[in-house]
Every structure is written in C-alpha cells, then in structure tokens.
C-alpha cells in the first residue's frame, strides 16, 4: 500500500533479506510504505525480492555484503548515513544454523561462524547503527530469536547459545536506550516454512508450517513510531496479532 501504509516514509534496514523471514518482512514493510534497504550475501536472491516489491509498487535499495567480514558493518553504517542521514528501523534477521551435533564434535571454525553471525554481528550492528537510530524521531531495532534461546536442547550447540546471548544482548541494549527515542525488541517467529527449518527437520512436511509472510505483523507493530514496547519478546504466532491490538509478550 505505498502512499498510505503504517510505515510511510520510514527507512528500514533488513539483514538476511534475500529469503525466508527477512524477505517476507521486507516485502511487507514496502507494502506498508517503508523504503527497505535489503542486505544479504547473494545478489541474485535479493533481486528476486526486489522484483516482488516493485510488482506491488514499492521501491528498495539492495546491498550485498558478508557481515562477518571485518569492516563491512562500519562501511554499511557510513553508506546509510551518506544516503539517508538516519535509520528508522533495523530488522536483524540474518542467521546461520550450523550442523546439529554433540558439542564436542563441532570444529572451531563452524562454532565461530555460527556464534559470529547469530550473536556478535548483532552486537556490531548495534554498535555501528545506534547513532543512526538515534537520528530518527523513532528508531526501532528488532531482532529475531527462537525458543532455543530460552529452552536449549541437545545437539543445537552454537545456535542455541547464540540465541540465548542475543536475548541478553537486546535486553541490555533496550535498557541503555530506555530514555531515548530508540526502542529495541525481540521477535520469536516460531516454527515456519523456511530453508533453515528444512535443514534442521528434513523429514517434516513444510506444508504443515505457516509461511513467513503470515508472521510479519509483529514486525510492523514493533516498527511503528508509536510503539512503546522496549526489551520485549513478542511471539509472532500469537493469535491476537491478527487482528487484535495486543501482543503476547514474554517477560
């Protein structure tokens, strides 16, 4: 709905935007009037998302980068400031599952890669983009988590550890920005029909799971300038999110 959406004119950076949940949120944000900046490692998949956005009358900016590479996030922040002068919304959806394995079977390189992308990169995004979010009249930072961060299970090693650390990280950040115009929150989308889920559960029927496109309302509400939630964990599959006014918030 370009021209009359709830996020009209807001600049939104989305990591992991080439597929799955990140792509779905990007398309929804554009439909709500935002200008999404799509970030991922592969340009081909990003262009497909851009085609979906353009087909609905929206516009996007495409950026390719491996956020784990030194200096890339700082370069990203500088480019956003030069182009837009601020950042209104950050959605950090990029994630790496890694193999499911006993802890002692992970090689250090695999462990480091998952922890880096799923946890450390999010700290570096906060570090580099917080000044841009503070330049917005209503900066909003939204991070994607899952139940394994609160209820770790065997064989999920670095992924579960990273999600537990992410939840602590975001709540710390939320406390630090509480007296500013910035708000930081977490969304747990639950089980959904994505490639990451399929790698973890190859025998599962994907048709039994909700599509990521059906789980974007929580992100829209947390991205609104009038949203006052801070340090909250929102369950995207809460029935009240569509169409009810409330959130299911986990303290």
159 belongs to the catalytic site? yes
The Cα–Cα gap between 95 and 251 comes to 23
CA atoms within 13 A on the CB side of 45: 16
pLDDT value for 222: 97
Q: Which CATH number fits domain 11-250: 3.40.50.2300, 3.20.20.150, 3.30.1330.10, 3.40.50.720?
A: 3.40.50.720
pLDDT value for 245: 38
pTM (2 decimals)? 0.92
Q: 121 with 69: CB under 8 angstroms?
A: no
DSSP 209: S
Residue with tokens 């917080």: 130
Among the listed residues 106, 155, 159, 173, the single catalytic one is 159
List the domain boundaries for the chain: 11-250
Cα 136-238-207 angle, rounded to 5 deg: 110
DSSP 249: E
Output the tens digit of pLDDT for each of the chain's 251 residues: 445 799 999 999 999 999 999 999 999 999 999 999 999 998 999 999 999 999 999 999 999 999 999 899 999 999 999 999 999 999 999 999 999 999 999 999 999 999 999 999 999 999 999 999 999 999 999 999 999 999 999 999 999 999 999 999 999 999 999 999 999 999 999 888 877 787 878 877 878 888 999 999 999 999 999 999 999 999 999 877 643 334 444 43
pLDDT value for 169: 98
In 192-231, alpha helices (H): 195-200, 217-223
The Cα–Cα gap between 100 and 72 comes to 29
Q: Strand, coil or helix: what is 201?
A: coil
């Amino acid at each position: 709905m370009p021209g009359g959406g709830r996020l009209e004119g807001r600049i939104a950076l989305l990591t992991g935007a080439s597929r799955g949940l990140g792509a779905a949120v990007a398309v929804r944000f554009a439909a709500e009037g935002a200008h999404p900046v799509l970030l991922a490692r592969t340009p081909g998949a990003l262009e497909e998302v851009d085609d979906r956005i353009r087909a609905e009358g929206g516009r996007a900016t495409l950026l390719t980068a491996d956020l784990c590479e030194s200096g890339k996030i700082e370069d990203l922040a500088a480019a956003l400031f030069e182009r837009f002068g601020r950042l209104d919304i950050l959605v950090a959806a990029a994630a790496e599952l890694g193999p499911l394995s006993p802890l002692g079977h992970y090689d250090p390189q695999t462990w480091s890669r998952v922890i880096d992308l799923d946890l450390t990169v999010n700290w570096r995004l906060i570090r580099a983009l917080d000044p841009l979010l503070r330049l917005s009249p209503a900066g909003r930072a939204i991070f994607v988590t899952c139940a394994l961060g609160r209820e770790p299970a065997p064989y999920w090693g670095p992924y579960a550890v990273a999600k537990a650390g992410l939840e602590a990280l975001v709540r710390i950040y939320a406390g630090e920005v509480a007296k500013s115009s910035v708000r930081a929150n977490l969304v747990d989308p639950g089980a959904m029909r994505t490639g990451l889920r399929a790698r973890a559960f190859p025998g599962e029927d994907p048709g039994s799971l909700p599509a990521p496109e059906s789980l974007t309302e929580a992100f829209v509400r947390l991205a609104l300038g009038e949203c006052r939630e801070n340090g909250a964990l929102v369950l995207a599959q809460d029935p009240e999110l569509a169409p009810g006014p409330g959130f299911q918030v986990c303290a």
